[in-house]
Amino acid sequence: MSSSYLPATTDSISQALEARTPSESISILYRVLENPSSAPDSLRIKEQAITNLSDLLRQENRAEELRSLLTQLRPFFAVIPKAKTAKIVRSIIDDVAKIPGTSDLQISLCKEVVQWTRAEKRTFLRQRVEAKLAALLMENKEYPEALNLLSGLIKEVRRLDDKLLLVDIDLLESKLHFSLRNLPKAKASLTAARTAANAIYVPPAQQGNIDLQSGILHAEEKDYKTAYSYFFEAFEAFNALEDPRAVFSLKYMLLCKIMVSQADDVAGIISSKAGLQYVGPELDAMKAVADAHAKRSLKLFEIALRDFKPQLEEDPIVHRHLSSLYDTLLEQNLCRLIEPFSKVEIVHIAELIDLPVDHVEKKVSQMILDKKFAGTLDQGAGCLVIFDDPKTDAIYPTTLETISNIGKVVDSLYVRSAKIMA
């Protein structure tokens, strides 16, 4: 920073914007901020300078400078209203988040800000920064620390009855429990978020977030039709806002269609007016899976998983459901291949299905244990022996029915005898 300051006027801001290089603009804006004047007009110009400076530092990927800027601005925060301070601090933290590879820096920056807000007794700002910190810790897979932070914060916010922040925190807690595979608690937190949201006006983006999380939880319970409805609601909200999360909502809608064996609808949704806006690798991946499912082809399925690994394997939600779908498809194909035989070599089945022998052997043994078909593995001969379906003996259901009828007769006789004795 230069030792000589510039006057906090619109001319200084114009001079910074007209500078030849970003570095020169940044230098001018720093000099404007050094101006000691506390006049209302000077403070307004300084606020504008901070906004322009943080934008430039973000564009130049100077995350460390953004962090030090927050520390340098603390004397300035002492002379402006707390609401404006909160807006500036959150804006700078958001700018740091837009710079790639700054996850650890964001966490340490949020922790610094939390300490400062505690010392300054700025409760409103601290709660929001703590919620942001919990979200960052969750993204960094530091689940226990995030959960501890949220459990204390949620009690505090409930006492203050800050409904809008409560919706954010409950939704975040739901995502955190889902990441820990604790579905009952994830559903309970989502219900709490919905209850708080019903009492206030919720911005469309946040409502889209709630619907997206609802869809994910319903899909986890295999209720794909309800999940599809929620994903559709989320897609409409994000699409209207031109939010990048719209493509993920659409992707999960297609996943639901595939999981309920309606893969033929996928091409129609993609070619619709709304779908055409998001054509790209995400939708191409789902179309490839839908084609493989429609043709019941494991080979095409594996090709899709290989060609679209970032879109399918690296998305934990899609990956979990596709693993289940792959197992179902594999079982269906194996049952169809085994059906004509009474005894068949495992090697022959592996050749027919075009999969490794050990993989087929493992799956067949699992299917026998799960009673998907009756048979046994003769590992010495490397063969699978298939038994005929055992015929149900009609005597058992008839006997059960007879015993049930006798029970009814005994009960009615007991009632009659009780009336006589009375």
Residue 89 located in a structural domain: yes
Boundaries of domain holding 79: 1-97+104-121
> pLDDT at position 390, please?
64
79 is a domain residue: yes
Examine the pLDDT at 340 and tell me if it is beyond 90. Answer: no
Going by pLDDT thresholds of 50, 70 and 90, the confidence category of residue 37 is confident
Whether residue 189 is predicted with pLDDT greater than 80 in this model: the reply is: yes
pLDDT for 127 equals 92
pLDDT at 2 over 50: no
Which range among 120-129, 330-339, 343-352, 358-367 has the greatest average pLDDT? 120-129
The mean pLDDT of 320-335, rounded to a whole number, is 83
Reply yes or no on whether the pLDDT at 351 is more than 90. no
Q: Would residue 61 count as lying in a domain?
A: yes
What's the average model confidence in pLDDT over 265-281?
87
Q: What is the pLDDT of residues 365-422, one digit of tens each?
A: 888 887 777 788 877 778 888 887 666 667 888 888 899 999 999 988 888 888 887 6
Does residue 215 fall inside a structural domain? no
The reply to whether 298 falls in a domain is no
Single pTM value for the model: 0.78
* Residue 274: partners with Cβ closer than 8 Å, 6 or more residues away: 235, 239, 250
- Which of the pair, 297 or 248, is modelled with greater confidence? 248
Average pLDDT, the chain: 87
Per residue in 192-247, pLDDT (tens digit) is: 999 999 988 889 999 999 999 999 999 999 999 999 999 999 999 999 998 889 99
Q: For residue 32, which phi and psi values (nearest 5 degrees)? A: -65, -40
Average of per-residue pLDDT across 357-361: 82
Whether pLDDT at 32 is above 50? yes
Look at residue 187 and tell me if it is in a domain: no
Confidence at residue 1, expressed as pLDDT on a 0 to 100 scale: 41
Does residue 148 fall inside a structural domain?
A: no
In a domain, 376, yes or no: no
Q: What is the pLDDT of residue 112?
A: 93
pLDDT above 60 for 329: yes
User: What is the model's pLDDT at position 358?
Assistant: 83
Q: What is the per-residue pLDDT across 82-105, written as a single tens digit (0 to 9) for each? A: 889 999 999 999 999 999 888 899
Total domains present in the chain? 1
